[in-house]
Structure 1
């Protein structure tokens, strides 16, 4: 299935009058505050969120997976699904592949399929957290951190292969997340595991093309529950600093212990020029991978508040933006549309913060006023502004309503079958 401009036009038509009324009212109020609405729209349009190939199918838990049907069973189908999302929201112009779940068999065909739906390739992700069917050695006790040099070598070569695949597709970054760790005291040496990881990453880093980045992800627990080798942003930052200018920390919103101040982490990393990217999701207890903004929308806004400030005050390069979620209850494409909208809404809210007044409140120790300024921006309903940015880009005023009205899932089930399942977890 491919979404055309005629589809978008027909789905927008019933909404045009009410949307125009809501947007014009909001725009007038924003202009009264001295905000340039057209400049805001351009910034919102420029924020593009990569879609991970593994999120296009129904996720799973340790207990089961409940497919909704019509899932993309090939890489080309995954690209086509991202094309559907991008046609609807004009905000998801790239796909992030997970290797070896999505190794291209015909690069020309893959590149052509992507070009047909205006999709490029974001960061490529390596996978050393599970053994593959034909794998000669096991990652059961670690990969890049493993005491066995031959197993480390296997993991290193896999990451190098992922880089080569990414080069053929036009990617510019490698994301490394390690499951390596321990579940029991005494299982391994903390220092040796970290040193092994650094030496392994260094060998991979030296393979990076000159215009690439290495994004180092962290996670405090799971699948191991006593220690994780790269357990927090500080360890990732340490490794990135030691590796060099092309290495950065990647922040996954779910990869934190409860009540961690993620916005402070973001501010610190941007100050040091080492914030490389984001994996957006939401959580209640841990790495829940829930829809972005479904649990902690104010935290998401506060994170973007620090990002917007960092864009103005630091030389940190533009981060890579990507959703990273996996669940087994909702239509995955509806979830992705909701997530992208939540991200853009939080960004828009951060853009209207009165920064001069906030700085004055901070300098004057006016705690109450600082809170008022932030909450005024957060409580301003900017959904009409986000919708207008999408409409002006050629997308649907209400992407998820259009997705349903156009019966996208029903059509995909007819085309692919109700038992079609995506590769990955």
Structure 2
């Protein structure tokens, strides 16, 4: 399904005069601070965030799932939906697949279809935290009940390694260049497992997978303090993540999921530390109140998101760049929203935090920090946070052929109704 670009243009026309007035005001304000609004707009356009294939259907909790109508039942339909998101927001140009939920059996055709929407394939995600009912991630028929790469049984570890190698092969056919490994491995009770041996098993398994990657690929390891195991998790924090990455190889990097931290964790400082070690892979964006709540990006902690981007912009505009480009992806899934609306809101929050961080006067901030001007530094970054940069984001979207207000356009064009008309009201979506 493709939207009529003329309809998107018509949605924008209703706001054009208002938009131009606001754009002139914020541009003049930034000019007084020595900040070029055109450069900010160009940077916003460049920031492209991958859409995960599993977020296009209604998510679930362990208590239940309440799917909506018109949800995509196949990988091809998911690609089509990402194409719609690209048309509306201009902020996504790639898809991240989760195997075995979305196996591209006809990879060449899938790649060609994605290209027809202007899309490529981002990082491939393996899955050893569950037993797929079809056995697609358990080629030896063994269970991951007691862990995968940490398992005491060598045969189970070998099965998990083989699954990740299979995922790499799918990715090679799709044009991907990275593998994301999130491990649920851990324990629920004291005495259940040996912490050190579990960690060593995981490290050895990652090394074996790493050897099978193409030389231009990257491996992303992702930490999480708990869930589904609640007493211990092998890769439980950024320190463990960094140890695993360094013990695996130079092209093994640390992925930061914003929900994978305990309450009140200073995530922006974590980001800074990983940057210092030149091991930052990128981000899985979401938001949370307690931990991994998988809520819409920026819905609860927008200031934290801004502070994280403050660290990122300092790195991205600096001279000490890593070999890899940072990977950006939304990893949110909720049970009460239209998934497409949730994603559009997330793209908007990411662009907003990024733009706010871009307008921080870096030289002035560095001087204030050097002179220990505590209040001055706080005022400077809060002034950027309080600046209404939405006109810059709207302008960036328009220049890409997108909508000023993607969510409003999505509703005005009755996209969900069109999808329901085409697909029906009851659809079985792959994933959680």
Shorter chain as denominator, the TM-score bin is: over 0.9
- 1: CA distance, partners of 2:55 / 2:214: 28
Please say if 1:314 is aligned against 2:320: yes
Bigger Cα displacement from structure 2, 390-399 vs 159-168: 390-399
Q: Which residue number in structure 1 is paired with residue 145 of structure 2?
A: 140
Q: Report if aligned partners of 2:35, 2:361 keep a CA contact under 8 Å in 1.
A: no
Cα drift, residue 88 of structure 1: 0.6
Q: How does 1:223-234 map to 2 (within 5 A)?
A: 223-234=228-239
TM-score in terms of structure 2 length: 0.97
Q: Report if aligned partners of 1:271, 1:314 keep a CA contact under 8 Å in 2.
A: no
Partner of 1:6: helix, strand, or coil?
helix
Q: Report if aligned partners of 2:108, 2:174 keep a CA contact under 8 Å in 1.
A: no
- 2: CA distance, partners of 1:310 / 1:281: 21
Bigger Cα displacement from structure 2, 129-138 vs 295-304: 129-138
Please say if 1:412 is aligned against 2:412: no
- 2: CA distance, partners of 1:130 / 1:72: 22
Cα drift, residue 315 of structure 1: 2.2
Residue by residue over 1:351-387, the C-alpha shift from the partner in whole angstroms, topping out at 9 and shown as x without a partner, is 1101111111111111111100110000101111111
Partner of 2:282: helix, strand, or coil?
strand
- 2: CA distance, partners of 1:387 / 1:293: 18
Cα drift, residue 313 of structure 1: 4.5
Gaps of 5+ in 1: none
Q: Which residue number in structure 1 is paired with residue 81 of structure 2?
A: 81
Q: Report if aligned partners of 2:207, 2:249 keep a CA contact under 8 Å in 1.
A: no
Q: Report if aligned partners of 1:270, 1:314 keep a CA contact under 8 Å in 2.
A: no
- 2: CA distance, partners of 1:187 / 1:113: 47
User: Which of 303, 310, 327 does residue 334 from structure 2 map onto?
Assistant: 327
- 2: CA distance, partners of 1:313 / 1:363: 19
- 2: CA distance, partners of 1:276 / 1:54: 21
- 2: CA distance, partners of 1:415 / 1:395: 23
Residue by residue over 1:392-417, the C-alpha shift from the partner in whole angstroms, topping out at 9 and shown as x without a partner, is 11111111111001100010001000
Q: Which residue number in structure 2 is paired with residue 247 of structure 1?
A: 252
Partner of 2:296: helix, strand, or coil?
coil
Residue by residue over 1:26-68, the C-alpha shift from the partner in whole angstroms, topping out at 9 and shown as x without a partner, is 1111112111111111111000000000000000011110011
Partner of 1:238: helix, strand, or coil?
helix
- 2: CA distance, partners of 1:98 / 1:63: 23
Cα drift, residue 338 of structure 1: 0.5
Q: Which residue number in structure 2 is paired with residue 152 of structure 1?
A: 157
- 2: CA distance, partners of 1:411 / 1:397: 21
Q: Report if aligned partners of 2:60, 2:334 keep a CA contact under 8 Å in 1.
A: yes
Cα drift, residue 8 of structure 1: 1.6
User: Which of 346, 349, 352 does residue 353 from structure 2 map onto?
Assistant: 346
Partner of 2:281: helix, strand, or coil?
strand
Partner of 2:199: helix, strand, or coil?
helix
Q: Which residue number in structure 2 is paired with residue 6 of structure 1?
A: 6
- 2: CA distance, partners of 1:160 / 1:245: 18
Cα drift, residue 328 of structure 1: 0.5
Partner of 1:414: helix, strand, or coil?
helix
TM-score in terms of structure 1 length: 0.99
Cα drift, residue 112 of structure 1: 1.9
Q: Report if aligned partners of 2:83, 2:118 keep a CA contact under 8 Å in 1.
A: yes
User: Which of 263, 267, 271 does residue 262 from structure 1 map onto?
Assistant: 267
Cα drift, residue 168 of structure 1: 0.3
Instruction: After the TM superposition, list the runs of 4 or more consecutive aligned residues in structure 1 that deviate by more than 2 angstroms.
Output: 313-318
Cα drift, residue 109 of structure 1: 2.0
Q: Which residue number in structure 2 is paired with residue 387 of structure 1?
A: 394
Q: Report if aligned partners of 1:44, 1:348 keep a CA contact under 8 Å in 2.
A: yes
Q: Which residue number in structure 2 is paired with residue 31 of structure 1?
A: 31
Q: Which residue number in structure 1 is paired with residue 108 of structure 2?
A: 108
Cα drift, residue 104 of structure 1: 1.0
Q: Report if aligned partners of 2:108, 2:173 keep a CA contact under 8 Å in 1.
A: no
Cα drift, residue 105 of structure 1: 2.2
- 1: CA distance, partners of 2:421 / 2:390: 33
Q: Report if aligned partners of 1:70, 1:421 keep a CA contact under 8 Å in 2.
A: no
